[in-house]
Amino acid sequence: GELMDLIRTEGQRMTAAQPSETTVGNMVRRVLKVIREEYGRLHGRSEESDQQESLHKLLTSGGLSEDFRTPYPSLRANVIEAINEMLIELEGTTDNIAMQALEHIHSNEVIMTIGYSRTVEAFLKEAARKRKFQVIVAECAPFCQGHEMAVRLSKEGIETTVMSDAAIFAVMSRVNKVIIGTKTILANGALIAVSGTHTLALAAKHHSTPLIVCAPMFKLSPQFPNEEDSFHKFVSPQEVLPFTEGAILAKINVHCPVFDYVPPELITLFISNIGGNAPSYIYRLMSELYHPDDYEL
């Protein structure tokens, strides 16, 4: 009980410091779930007993939920071991995702992506070892991370083209698949990704092109898109309109949002380290990773 409260307070402090970095909160929640499981195991509860709320539990439970007050000396060692396992899993996520590349990319395909994502880069590099295909990268203004992605991909010998964000819709008719990375996956299957991804997703939907999201499981966050969680981050508008344009700046408002919200209907498939899933299945994965009491840290 005390251990969980300690971790929870630390988690709250960390998430308050940088609310757009949701992975911090996700990891804290996973640690809390690990602690609950280990405690349950030591307490003698069977593995199958469901920790989640369900109609079934509503009918059969005899009393209130357990408190975590009984001390167990071996609890600490078990928890540390479980956390180490988790660390090993985290380090292997990019490789796990890349291993699935061959099933999804075929020869002579035209793939579109946006901005720079290390996961997508590893994914495409792995496929390039056995298949020949082309990649079109949208440069993702104003930071133009797409340029760096294109340089890295072409070093591996993949035919790469860079184009501006405005041309996404125009080129979409020639594209076979869209593969992107993301910052966060929300509980309803929606994405928070770099600015410009929503445009890309709408264009893909219009042309019925499959949209594949490559993201490791630690990016799955149990939050829903509501106003309270303001996931938007704005940075200096210097990139959009530089400060040298002083005369205009006084008369206009300039914004530079970093993230975009992409609704779940536009996404075809999520590829993560545990395999491919449809957006409507995300709620299930969430119940395996986190405990409902921890959704609100």
Partner 1 sequence: PDAPRCLSDLIETFRAQLRDDPDVASAVAAIRALLGFLKQDRGETIQGLRNSLRDAIDTLSRVDSSVAVSSGGELFLRFISLTSLEYSDYSKCKEIMIERGEIFLTKVSLSRNKIAKLCHPFIRDGARILTHAYSRVVLRVLEAAVEAKKRFSVYVTESQPDEAGQKMAKALRKLNIPVIVILDAAVGYIMEKVDLVLVGAEGVVESGGIINKIGTNQIAVCAKAQNKPFYVVAESFKFVRLFPLNQQDVPDRFKYKADTLKTSQNLKEEHPWIDYTSPSLITLLFTDLGVLTPSAVSDELIKLYL
Give the binding site for partner 1 (CB under 8 A).
50, 53-56, 58-63, 187-189, 224, 226-228, 280-284, 292, 295
Beta bridge partners of 180: 213
100 or 268: whose CB is closer to partner 1?
268
Cα distance between residue 18 and residue 24, in whole Å: 9
CB of 190 to partner 1, least distance (A): 10
72 or 281: whose CB is closer to partner 1?
281
CB of 39 to partner 1, least distance (A): 22
185 or 282: whose CB is closer to partner 1?
282
CB of 142 to partner 1, least distance (A): 28
Peptide bond preceding 142 in cis form (omega within 30 of 0):
yes
SS3 274: coil
CB of 140 to partner 1, least distance (A): 26
CB of 113 to partner 1, least distance (A): 27
The pair of three-digit structure tokens given for residue 194, joined into one six-digit string: 């770099």
Cα distance between residue 276 and residue 33, in whole Å: 23
* Contacts with 249 (C-beta within 8 Å, 6 or more apart), sequence order: 241, 243
154 or 277: whose CB is closer to partner 1?
277
The pair of three-digit structure tokens given for residue 102, joined into one six-digit string: 């061959």
179 or 191: whose CB is closer to partner 1?
191
Q: Determine contact, residues 145/114, Cβ cutoff 8 Å.
A: no
